[in-house]
Amino acid sequence: MVLDPPLSAPIIGRLTIIGVGLIGSSILRAAKARGLAGTLVAYDGAEAVRDRALALGLADLVAATPERAVRDADIVILCVPVGAMGAVAAAIAPHLKPDAIVSDVGSVKGAVVSALRAHLPANVHIVPGHPVAGTEYSGPDAGFAALFKNRWSILTPPEGTDPAAVQRLAALWTAMGANVETMTPEHHDLVLAITSHVPHLIAYNIVGTAADLEAVTQSEVIKYSAGGFRDFTRIAASDPTMWRDVFLNNREAVIEVLGRFTEDLIALQRAIRWAEGDKLFDLFTRTRAIRRSIIEIGQETAAPDFGRTHD
């Protein structure tokens, strides 16, 4: 998958990315490939990551401090774990220019809005965002320019946000190939609890259960992993810090969805116990239709074995 050709002129004067992991480095790569910013600036709290970003040529400037990184920036995107948003916002707040747009890429939005509002000055625009894209890999080498191509980027501006600021950020994501949707932070957190957060929790749990099952050795779990378990392990390999913060900061929505999931799981257990094949068949038919719908809108490939290539 490739991006569109570079633009004839940048749409942003100075774009700053704080946190050069998978998402941050992908934004930098996409912005550079399409010529979206006059100046690209990167910062990461880890010196080794800053050195690697410099070696990879991800930005025009790899700043040594967050203060230097955000100076004169038109848009600042925080690509750090949700739990770190408040501390980063406090560090950059005195150095932001008036009318700068501050966004993020976190998977939780209600907590991010609260954290940013608590520290950022009133003369900047807070427009939180969440690109629904990623892989199980992390770090500056994991990113790629086409990560957001035909994926959704959800913007969750708080009530009263300047529409022009929202539109400007939406234009950036659109130029990186994403489809943009706007919703309230609260609705975002409920939607993502069911589509992302609880599935990750289930994956972490089932992989942990398999590892702890005394009747089956860990070597057997690894050796005989079938497609279902193997793909659970892919999800369960995601960044531990990021997902710890997701669950701690989206507790209410996750617990609500987990309650419904638990009820449905008990009903499924009962259907299996009492050999109610018609109920099982109906459920599997409905879920298969959802999979087909995801493929039809281009969010997954119909290639066998989840699109893996084989020798």
What is the mean pLDDT, run by run of 10 residues, along the chain of 311 residues? 88 98 97 98 98 98 97 98 96 98 97 97 98 88 96 96 98 98 96 92 87 70 72 84 91 94 94 95 89 74 54 39
Q: What is the pLDDT of residue 174?
A: 98
140 SS3 class: coil
> How many other β-carbons are positioned within 10 Å of the β-carbon of residue 161?
16
Q: What is the pLDDT of residue 215?
A: 64
Q: Which domains does the chain have, with CATH numbers?
A: 12-183 (3.40.50.720), 187-274 (1.10.3660.10)
Between CA 30 and CA 28 the distance in angstroms is 6
Q: What is the pLDDT of residue 310?
A: 38
Q: What is the pLDDT of residue 275?
A: 95
pTM of the full predicted structure? 0.85
Between CA 220 and CA 72 the distance in angstroms is 56
Q: What is the pLDDT of residue 136?
A: 77
